[in-house]
């Protein structure tokens, strides 16, 4: 790889192209995402969760929180920090902002924004080392830091810090070029650091490095340009300067120990709780061909993107890179491209081939069962590392237009493409929440906390009508953290036993405490003692704990196909619970020769789902069955069980009947395999104020 060009072309060896591109990215994209520090990028879901994790680690470093791995949510279950990313590699940025006096909310915005700066600067430095000019490096770094697939992940801020990706690729390139031990040590450092920043991105970085290693075999080269990986390994084994080799081995050992320290708690608690991803969850998140055309939030491309259909979990598949970056990359890899540009193109193509889902088939099926791979659900986020080789190719394409073509045409075309790139990225719409909403929600919850709490009090914010469950879970976590208390609320990528989709707050409380009791093999006296410590915030609940823990049978895998038609559900009655909710009495019949078990060890639970039909039109209010509530107890063979659900009524005025079905998640709907859909005989009416006025009994 040649040295970076100096003093020629657009920008030459000056810094102004890099500073200009960074300024445009910050002023036109990053800062508007937070409304210039007046709003939280993302929503009140994942953004709040990431903020709570950062604040917990900061509090632990400050000596406030006693346990690092058990933050006090999902209490009393231990190890809840291992249910998601932990931000160990980036919490220093947040901690520094907190130490200089910023509030948790402003420190979070600063932490979020600085990720763009770190990503851009590291990518720029690396691209210059790869031989790009100042202009080409600025364009490539802009693609890496501000491309559309990056911006759509603003709500998943745990994926923000990717600065170690280009540094690791540079170390690999130097290793293959020179065959010295030092780059191998640096490669270990950058991979380890990326895992500490984000486990997802560390895993994707390994896949990208694997793509580069395989591409090194597929792209012919001379020994002076790049050595094959096996020859590098052989050369390192015979390295004459043993001291340098031993230093490299020492660095790799330290990196290995650091990774073991990171992953050991995750492995321990995953085994303890039986945490594993359902293959169907992963399959939905594998990129489709259409995924690379999706940019629904783009002002430029959104109308075209909407024509792409048939993509499950569509919000996770927004992978369109933009026309300008694609055209620049094509120019960069055209005839006469440098060896490393061709290797980068092949490496990127290999990742696309590995993860692509075509008609339900994917090569990734051979990977997803490997250690660590099963924990990675949203494989479509691999685009966050693929933008580095793409940025390298785009920067190379810019240089070929401005340096290789000695005419105005190339420079004019390059300028047009750069302008289009800026417009495409700057006009992508991302969500944000005003700081006042964030703070007001916490203040409202805190205002409902009793003035005096017992020293061992456990906070619980129950689900509220017509509000997503995750909102009240995060409310409980926020209140508990501000008060320095524990809470049975919890929101994360995984959850312990007893935490499921339950609509009734009392049922939810009972299930969580019962789940812990089964897990710890406690008796009912101990469960009652825990229940007496719970302080309900924001509601008045009168929950009676059961006299004994209900029997709940565990099962794995899918129910037999014939079993679905032998289960029946009937709506025995509807009553008004409050102005916005109904109590539904259900009877579930089991015609099977075996028990209908209620606890899935393979993350394929059996749940109820419902929707309302308009009496006037006969049409469903919602076309899909999006609602869920757990089957909370076993149904014995050839018997029936009565259950009760608390559900939200429609908010639109009208007269409605209720329909009820069942589903085994990621397997099948019961009504699609022979079980009749239950329909209520009663009609409920919602008034113009959104309140249930009456129920008509037929």
Whether 606 shows a pLDDT value over 90: the answer reads yes
What pLDDT is attached to residue 406?
A: 62
Nearest in space to 684 (alpha carbons), one of 546, 568, 581, 564: 581
Show the tokens assigned to 28. 């036109």
- Average pLDDT on 446-452 reads 91
How confident is the model over 224-239, as a mean pLDDT? 81
Q: How confident is the model at residue 4 (pLDDT cuts 50, 70, 90)?
A: very low
- Nearest-angstrom CA–CA distance, 326 and 341: 14
pLDDT, mean of residues 339-350: 94
Angle subtended at Cα 266 by Cα 261 and Cα 272, rounded to the nearest 5 degrees: 130
Residue 454 binned pLDDT confidence (cut-offs 50, 70, 90): very high
Map 54-88 to HEC letters. HHHHHHHHCCCCCCCCCCCCCCCCCCHHHHCCCCC
- Among the listed residues 350, 384, 390, the one whose alpha carbon sits nearest the alpha carbon of residue 367: 350
Structure tokens at 593: 């020769």
Please return the burial class of 450, using the count of CB atoms within 10 Å of its CB with bins 0-12, 13-18 and 19+.
exposed
Report phi then psi at 543, rounded to 5: -100, 125
Using a pLDDT cut of 90, give the percent of the chain over it.
67
Q: Taking residues 169-185, report their average pLDDT.
A: 93
User: Looking at the domain that runs over 554-696, which CATH code has it been given?
Assistant: 2.60.40.10
Q: What is the mean pLDDT of the chain?
A: 91
Residue 6 predicted with pLDDT over 60: no
| Angstrom distance (rounded) from CA 296 to CA 429 | 9
Q: What is the pLDDT of residue 405?
A: 53
The DSSP element (H or E) to which 614 belongs, if any, is strand 606-614
Query: What are the b/e assignments for 626-653, b being 16+ CB within 10 Å?
Result: ebbbbbbebbeeeebbebbbbbbbbeee
Residue ranges covered by each domain of the chain:
16-43+85-426, 435-536, 554-696
Helix (H) or strand (E) holding 271: helix 242-273
Q: Are 34 and 163 in contact (CB under 8 A)?
A: no
pLDDT in the model for residue 12: 55
Radius of gyration in angstroms for the set of CA atoms belonging to the chain, rounded to a whole number: 28
Write the pLDDT tens digit of every residue in 624-676.
Answer: 898 999 998 899 999 999 999 999 999 889 999 999 999 999 899 999 999 99
Instruction: Report the alpha-carbon distance of residue 676 to residue 143 in Å, rounded.
Output: 53
d(CA 94, CA 114): 10
pLDDT in the model for residue 194: 97
Q: Give the helix, strand, coil percentages of the chain, each rounded to 5.
A: 50, 15, 35
The pLDDT tens digits for 136-151 are: 999 999 999 999 999 9
pLDDT value for 288: 95
Q: How far apart are CA 59 and CA 197, in angstroms?
A: 18
pLDDT band at 1 (very low <50, low <70, confident <90, very high): very low
Residues 640 and 587: beta-carbon distance below 8 Å: yes
Is the pLDDT assigned to residue 13 strictly greater than 80? no
Instruction: Please state, in angstroms and rounded to a whole number, the distance separating the CA atoms of residues 250 and 256.
Output: 10
User: Residue 235 in 3-state DSSP?
Assistant: helix
Mean local confidence (pLDDT), 400-412 = 80
The yes-or-no verdict on residue 307 having pLDDT over 90 is yes
SS (H, E, C) 162-215: CCHHHHHHHHHHHHHHHCCHHHHHHHHHHHHHHHHHCHHHHHHHHHHHHHHHHH
The pLDDT of 460-486, averaged and rounded, is 92
pLDDT of res. 369: 81
Q: What is the mean pLDDT of residues 326-342?
A: 90
What is the pLDDT at residue 637? 93
Contact call for residues 615 and 654 (beta carbons, < 8 A): yes
Mean predicted confidence (pLDDT) in 586-612 = 92
For residue 142, how many C-alpha atoms fall within 13 Å in the half-sphere facing its CB? 37
Spell out the alpha helix ranges (H) of 400-541.
408-426, 435-447, 469-483, 505-520, 524-533
Between 405 and 139, residue with greater pLDDT: 139
Q: How confident is the model at residue 404 (pLDDT cuts 50, 70, 90)?
A: low
């Amino acid at each position: 790889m040649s040295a970076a060009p100096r003093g020629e072309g657009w920008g030459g060896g000056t810094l102004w192209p890099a500073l200009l591109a960074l300024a445009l990215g910050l002023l036109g994209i990053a800062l508007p995402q937070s409304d210039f520090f007046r709003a939280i990028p993302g929503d009140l879901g994942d953004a709040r969760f990431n903020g709570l994790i950062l604040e917990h680690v900061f509090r632990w470093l400050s000596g406030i929180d006693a346990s690092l791995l058990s933050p006090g949510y999902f209490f009393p279950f231990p190890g809840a920090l291992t249910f998601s990313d932990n931000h160990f590699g980036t919490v220093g940025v947040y901690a520094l902002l907190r130490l200089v006096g910023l509030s948790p909310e402003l420190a979070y915005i600063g932490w979020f924004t600085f990720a763009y700066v770190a990503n851009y600067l590291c990518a720029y430095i690396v691209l210059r080392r790869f031989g790009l000019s100042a202009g080409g490096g600025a364009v490539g770094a802009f693609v890496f830091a501000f491309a559309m697939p990056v911006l759509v992940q603003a709500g998943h801020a745990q994926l923000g810090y990717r600065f170690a990706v280009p540094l690791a690729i540079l170390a690999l390139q130097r290793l293959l070029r020179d065959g010295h031990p030092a780059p191998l040590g640096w490669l270990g450092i950058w991979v380890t650091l990326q895992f500490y920043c984000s486990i997802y991105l560390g895993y994707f970085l390994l896949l990208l490095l694997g793509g580069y290693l395989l591409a090194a075999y597929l792209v012919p080269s001379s020994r002076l340009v790049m050595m094959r990986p096996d020859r590098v390994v052989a050369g390192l084994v015979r390295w004459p300067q043993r001291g340098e080799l031993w230093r490299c081995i020492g660095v790799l050992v330290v990196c290995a120990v650091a990774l073991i320290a990171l992953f050991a708690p995750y492995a321990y608690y995953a085994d303890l709780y039986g945490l594993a991803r359902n293959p169907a969850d992963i399959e939905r998140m594998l990129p489709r061909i259409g995924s690379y055309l999706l940019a629904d939030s783009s002002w430029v491309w959104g109308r075209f993107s909407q024509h792409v259909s048939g993509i499950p979990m569509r919000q996770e598949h927004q992978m369109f890179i933009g026309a300008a970056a694609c055209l620049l990359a094509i120019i960069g890899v055209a005839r006469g491209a440098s060896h490393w540009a061709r290797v980068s193109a092949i490496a990127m193509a290999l990742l696309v081939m590995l993860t692509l889902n075509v008609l339900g088939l994917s090569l990734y099926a051979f990977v997803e069962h490997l250690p660590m791979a099963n924990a990675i659900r949203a494989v479509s986020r691999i685009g966050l590392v693929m933008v580095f080789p793409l940025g390298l190719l785009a920067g190379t394409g810019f240089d070929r237009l401005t340096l290789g073509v000695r005419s105005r045409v190339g420079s004019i075309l390059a300028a047009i493409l750069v302008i289009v790139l800026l417009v495409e990225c700057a006009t992508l719409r991302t969500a944000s929440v005003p700081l006042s909403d964030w703070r007001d929600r916490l203040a409202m919850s805190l205002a409902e906390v009793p003035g005096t709490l017992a020293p061992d009090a456990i906070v619980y914010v129950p689900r509220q009508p017509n509000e997503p469950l995750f909102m009240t879970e995060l409310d409980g976590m926020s209140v508990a953290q501000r008060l320095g208390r524990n809470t049975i609320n919890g929101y994360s990528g995984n959850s312990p036993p007893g935490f499921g989709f339950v609509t009734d707050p009392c049922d939810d409380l009972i299930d969580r405490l019962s789940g812990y009791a089964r897990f710890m093999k406690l008796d009912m006296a101990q469960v009652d003692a825990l229940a007496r410590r719970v302080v309900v915030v924001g509601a008045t609940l009168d929950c009676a704990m059961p006299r004994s823990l209900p029997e709940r049978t565990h099962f794995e895998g899918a129910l037999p196909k014939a079993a679905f038609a032998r289960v029946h559900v009937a709506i025995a009655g509807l009553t008004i619970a409050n102005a916005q909710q109904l109590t539904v009495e259900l009877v579930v019949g089991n015609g099977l020769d075996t028990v209908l078990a209620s606890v899935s060890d393979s993350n394929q639970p059996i749940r109820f789902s419902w929707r309302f039909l308009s009496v006037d039109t006969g049409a469903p209010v919602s076309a899909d069955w999006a609602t869920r509530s757990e089957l909370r107890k076993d149904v014995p063979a050839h018997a029936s069980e009565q259950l009760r659900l608390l559900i939200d009524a429609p908010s639109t005025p009208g007269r409605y009947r209720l329909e009820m079905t069942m589903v085994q998640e990621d397997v099948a709907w019961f009504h699609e395999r022979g079980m009749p859909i239950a329909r209520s005989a009663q009609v409920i009416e919602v008034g113009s104020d959104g309140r249930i006025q009456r129920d008509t009994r037929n």
